[in-house]
Amino acid sequence: MPGGGRRATDETHIMFDIPMQSLLAQLLVGLINGCFYAMLSMGLAIIFGLLNIINFAHGAQFMVAAFLAWMGFSQLPLLLGPEFKINFWAALVLAPLIVGGLGVLLEKTLLKRLYHLDHLYGLLLTFGVSLVLEGVFRHFYGISGASYDPPALLQGGIDLGFMYLPLYRGFVVVASILICGCTWFLFEKTRLGALLRAGTENPKLLQAFGVNIPLMITLTYGFGVGLAGIAGVLATPIMQVNPLMGANLLNIVFAVVVIGGLGSILGAVVSGLALGLLEGLTKVFYPEASTVVVFVIMAVVLLTRPAGLFGKEH
């Protein structure tokens, strides 16, 4: 069969000589995933630093913010009339505030009662919260995804000469690097950040100096959850909005966190971005492994540097 032979040469051609275009496209996808890993693992690291719990609800909170953005844009106008349409930019401010506020409420009512106990209980509680949130949205919206268009300002793309860059994707990269940079600056270079780091080291001593530690803890949790909220809204035009979008992402983020360690913001951001890029590269060279590459790297890191790349074992 002449046709069969020709197809085989085509395949070898693609396998050994990957076109620059598709390599760059996959790298961009990897970079964008990496941005989300970075934002989410940074939030986890911030929360872990002060509260000493792993926020299992992080993925669900991310998902709720995405849903809020989608609902504000396409559901609210149907319900209340077109003047109530909440556009992307408003959602980018409102949804994280709402989700962060809910986080504050959760911390005030339930989480704070568990600090004197084993870490296990904080983990189980936030896990329960994530199930409730996912279940509620699954009940009302099913598991099929809804789509959301990027805001008018960011539609279309620019030709960079070597590749075509959709504007919105470029915006996500810039925005998330900006957010990570600002958070890093806040924690490492300001007085407030110094207080927060002191609270991580020795909360009792800091409280003796007159700092309101419980308030600080509450606001830190709210801030970390808010970060997940921002990531959620940013993700709406890229990912399908569905109840499990956060849970799927969180599995990978946990591996990222094990690799990078929860000790530093910079570590979380760097390992998030790096692993996203690596995942993109794997998609080009060996697509079958792209779903597990992060976990394989995690295994290798555990065997060679058990404390994580940036971590210090306590």
- Interface residues with other proteins (CB under 8 A) are 48, 53-54, 110, 113-114, 117, 119-121, 123-125, 127-140, 243, 247, 251-252, 254-255, 257-258, 288, 291-292, 295-296, 298-299, 302-303, 306-307
- When the beta carbons of 69 and 114 are compared against other proteins, the nearer one is 114
- When the beta carbons of 255 and 277 are compared against other proteins, the nearer one is 255
- When the beta carbons of 80 and 132 are compared against other proteins, the nearer one is 132
User: What whole-number distance in Å separates Cα of residue 221 and Cα of residue 199?
Assistant: 13
Please give the distance of CA 277 from its chain centroid, rounded to a whole number: 15
Find the shortest distance in angstroms from Cβ 258 to other proteins. 6
Sign of CA dihedral 13, 14, 15, 20: positive
- When the beta carbons of 84 and 285 are compared against other proteins, the nearer one is 285
- When the beta carbons of 132 and 208 are compared against other proteins, the nearer one is 132
Q: How far is CA 46 from CA 64, 110, 157, 285, in A?
A: 20, 19, 34, 35
Find the shortest distance in angstroms from Cβ 48 to other proteins. 8
- When the beta carbons of 23 and 136 are compared against other proteins, the nearer one is 136
Give every CB contact of residue 126 below 8 A, 6+ residues apart in sequence.
53, 54, 55, 56, 57, 58, 111
User: What whole-number distance in Å separates Cα of residue 102 and Cα of residue 57?
Assistant: 12
| C-beta of residue 129 within 8 angstroms of C-beta of residue 57 | yes
Provide Rg for the chain, Cα atoms.
Answer: 21
CA triple 79-81-85, angle to 5 deg: 90
Find the shortest distance in angstroms from Cβ 114 to other proteins. 7
Measuring CA to CA, which residue among 258, 298, 297, 289 is closest to residue 45? 258
- When the beta carbons of 233 and 252 are compared against other proteins, the nearer one is 252
Find the shortest distance in angstroms from Cβ 311 to other proteins. 9
Find the shortest distance in angstroms from Cβ 312 to other proteins. 13
- Bridge partners of residue 35, in order along the sequence: none
Under DSSP, the state recorded for 75 is I
Measuring CA to CA, which residue among 279, 286, 267 is closest to residue 41? 267
Find the shortest distance in angstroms from Cβ 2 to other proteins. 30
Find the shortest distance in angstroms from Cβ 211 to other proteins. 26
